[in-house]
Amino acid sequence: MQLEQFYVYDIVGPLTPERKTFIENQIDDNAATFGQNVTWSWHKGEEEDFLRIFIESVIIEIVFLIERVELYGTAPSWARLLFTKERKEELRKRIEEVLIGAGFVTPETLEAQRRPKRKLFARARERNAAL
């Protein structure tokens, strides 16, 4: 399965230990809403930290660069069929709530920069080899 880029957010500051803890707490607090087993792990790349989240057959990767956060994901075709427009919107809102809560963005900056992307980048291809 290939990782696909879903969202890119320009941020006001990099990942810090406090922001990392906030994100971990949000995942743990909201894991039950997925109705599936949720596991996650942090990884360190050459220029970025990234968080890999597993929800059954779905993989979500959130890459934290100094100036932006990139969200990637992959799922088998049967799972993609269940990922409706409404569920995509709910996921986007949850991600943005966590970014706001962690202090990466403000509601105003989010509104100004919303730009969904569907391009596969070299970073995603490199991580695909590790899956």
Give the chain's domain count: 1
* Contact between residue 62 and residue 51 where contact means Cβ atoms under 8 Å apart: yes
- The domain in which residue 16 lies consists of 4-128
pLDDT at 33: 73
CATH number of the domain where residue 46 is located: 3.60.90
pLDDT tens track, the chain, 131 positions? 789 998 999 999 999 999 999 999 999 888 777 667 889 999 998 888 999 999 888 899 999 999 999 999 998 888 888 778 888 888 888 889 999 999 999 988 888 876 554 555 556 666 666 66
The residue count for the chain: 131
- Contacts of residue 67, defined as CB under 8 A and 6 or more positions apart, other chains included, come to 10, 11
Q: What is the pLDDT of residues 35-57, one digit of tens each?
A: 678 899 999 988 889 999 998 88
DSSP 38: E
